[in-house]
């Protein structure tokens, strides 16, 4: 029994020492994807000549809660971003994370100081959009950029950001599903910045049709479409259509009794209007 254990232990040590365990790029990517940073980093060290390994090392530096080194991670990501010879998928991920981290770091100066002050995030995100215009990453890059541009008080900037958003959505040649987060952001910002419920509901409808991943949000979005038509746009016909759609899709929802009441209210109002005429 003891001998068996010693043999197993020796084999395991040899296996690790000579690098037989998880030597492939795929294993390393899976380890990182599963949040196993120490394993991913160890594997990346063994195949450090591979671009994927350099990407994983940079991301581990930025995100590993145990051995986080944000300046090191940012420097490594920048190096990858500036490397023109990388494959497009690796470069895109490096650039996207580099730009996004720069945005987040800038918002937390008390922690990171001026670490990201020199990063031109617009250029980074634009490069991602230009290089992979039909990809999910292009949509994500625009989303990241617009979260900043559609937050300030400069009306010119806001107008141009909305134009950019609309043009991008209309001309996007990739899978329409990738646009879903942009539609959700548009709904939010059209209401909060311009009280433009008509544009907001247009984007909400598109988001719903594309299939919102979070089932709770999907339910709320359909409910909100009906409410916006009913209360803000005074389009009772469309409101009734979406209320009925809601009851069809979510009959057991906590909002369903409300929606039934709204439908009754609409019917009552319609009847009253008829009688007045």
Partner 1 sequence: MSKNNIDDSKNWFQNIGLILAGLFYLVACVIVFVNNSGGKLLAPSQKTITFAHWNLEDGFREGYAEAIQRFEDYKAKQGQKVKVIQTTVPFRGYPQWFLTQLIGGTPADVIKLSGSSEQHNQYFVPLSAYIGKPNPFNRGTPFESVPWKDTFLDNMNGGLNADYGEYYGIGINSATYRVYVNLDLLEKATGSRKMPDTLTEWLTVCEKLKEYGEKIGKPIIPIGVRGFDKRTLNYLFYYYFSQMNSDLNEDMSGNCSPRAENAKIFEALAGNRLSREKILAAADIIKQIGQYFCKGFTATDQEQTKFLFFAGNVGFFPEGTWNAYSMVKNSPFEVGIAEIPVIGDDHEYSKYFVGRPTEQGLGVGGLFGIPKASKNFSMALEFLQFTTSWKINQMIMADYCKWLPAVKKAEYKGILKYCQPQLGSGQRMICPPFYASIGTWRKMLESLETIIINNENEAGKIFWRDFIERIPLEIEEIEDTITATRRTMLSIEKQRSAIAVAGLVTDLQAEAEKRLENRYELILESLISSYRNMACYRETITILRKLRKKEGK
Please report, as ranges, the residues that interact with partner 1 according to CB under 8 A: 26, 29-30, 32-35, 52, 55-56, 59, 63, 89-90, 93, 96-97, 100-101, 104, 107-108, 136-137, 140, 143, 147, 177, 180-181, 184-185, 188, 191-192, 212-217, 220, 223-224, 227, 252-258, 260-261
Decide if 5 contacts 32 (C-beta within 8 A).
Answer: no
HSE-CB for 215 with a 13 A CA cutoff: 3
Min dist CB 19 to partner 1, Å, is 20
Rounded least distance, CB 137 to partner 1, Å: 8
Rounded Cα gap, residues 38 and 235, in angstroms = 57
Q: Which residues, 6 or more positions from 209, have their beta carbon under 8 angstroms from its beta carbon?
A: none
Closest contact distance (angstroms) between CB of 277 and partner 1 is: 27
For the chain, state the CA radius of gyration.
26
Question: Min. distance of Cβ 2 from partner 1 in angstroms?
Answer: 15
Instruction: Decide whether 93 or 121 has the Cβ nearer to partner 1.
Output: 93
- Return d(Cα 10, Cα 214) in angstroms, integer: 48
The residue (of 126 and 265) whose beta carbon lies closer to partner 1 is 265
Cα–Cα distance for residue pair 59/157, rounded to 1 Å: 32
Residue with Cβ nearer partner 1 (264 or 272): 264
Task: Say which DSSP state 260 is in.
Answer: H
User: By C-beta, is 120 or 203 nearer to partner 1?
Assistant: 203
Q: Which is nearer to partner 1, 52 or 145 (CB)?
A: 52
7: tokens are: 């043999």
């Amino acid at each position: 029994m003891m001998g068996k254990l010693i043999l197993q232990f020796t084999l395991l040590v040899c296996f690790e020492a000579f690098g037989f365990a998880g030597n492939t790029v795929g294993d390393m990517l899976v380890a990182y994807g599963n949040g196993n940073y120490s394993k991913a980093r160890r594997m990346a060290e063994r195949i450090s000549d591979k671009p994927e390994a350099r990407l994983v090392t940079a991301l581990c530096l930025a995100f590993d809660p145990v051995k986080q080194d944000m300046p090191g991670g940012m420097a490594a990501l920048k190096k990858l971003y500036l490397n023109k010879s990388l494959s497009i998928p690796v470069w895109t991920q490096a650039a996207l994370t580099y730009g996004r981290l720069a945005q987040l770091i800038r918002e937390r100066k008390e922690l990171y100081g001026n670490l990201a002050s020199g990063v031109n995030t617009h250029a980074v995100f634009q490069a991602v959009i230009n290089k992979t215009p039909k990809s999910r990453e292009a949509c994500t890059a625009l989303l990241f950029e617009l979260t900043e541009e559609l937050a300030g008080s400069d009306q010119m900037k806001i107008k141009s950001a909305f134009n950019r958003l609309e043009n991008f959505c209309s001309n996007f040649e990739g899978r329409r599903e990738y646009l879903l987060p942009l539609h959700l952001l548009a709904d939010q910002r059209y209401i909060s910045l311009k009280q433009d419920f008509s544009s907001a509901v247009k984007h909400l409808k598109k988001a719903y049709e594309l299939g919102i991943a979070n089932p709770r949000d999907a339910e709320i979005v359909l409910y909100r479409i009906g409410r916006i038509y009913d209360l803000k746009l005074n389009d009772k016909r469309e409101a009734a259509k979406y209320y009925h759609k809601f009851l069809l899709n979510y009959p057991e929802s906590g909002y369903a009794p409300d929606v039934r009441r709204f439908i009754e209210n609409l019917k009552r109002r319609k009847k009253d209007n008829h009688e007045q005429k």
